[in-house]
Amino acid sequence: MSVMVTTPPASAVVVRIAVPPALMRLRRAWDRNASAGIPAHVTILFPFVGPGDLGPSIRGELAAIAASHEQFEVRFERVGRFPGVVYLAPDP
């Protein structure tokens, strides 16, 4: 049985990530989001704001928040699940 969670249209705060070619092939074959053009990413916040509310001032605030933090390394070695979603769990 497949469970689909429905939410009102909203934006998300995501960080795109590079994935190895073999994983990208699996993702394209099995992940509907990949076939819809959604890149491999880490979701920071969802839902965020309605698509019509995501204007330049909010984008600027997000950019300022991101710029105020140092880069860090993260690994994705464990598979996790919640209803309707399989994901690679970030560590740390």
Q: Which residue has the higher pLDDT, 56 or 23?
A: 56
Whether 70 has a pLDDT exceeding 90, the answer reads: yes
pLDDT in tens, 14-51: 989 888 899 889 888 888 888 888 899 988 998 899 88
Q: Contact 43/10 with Cβ under 8 angstroms?
A: no
**Within 1-92, where are the H helices?**
21-30, 32-35, 56-67
Show Cβ contacts of residue 69 under 8 Å, excluding neighbours closer than 6 positions: none
Whether 2 has a pLDDT exceeding 60, the answer reads: no
Tell whether pTM > 0.75.
no
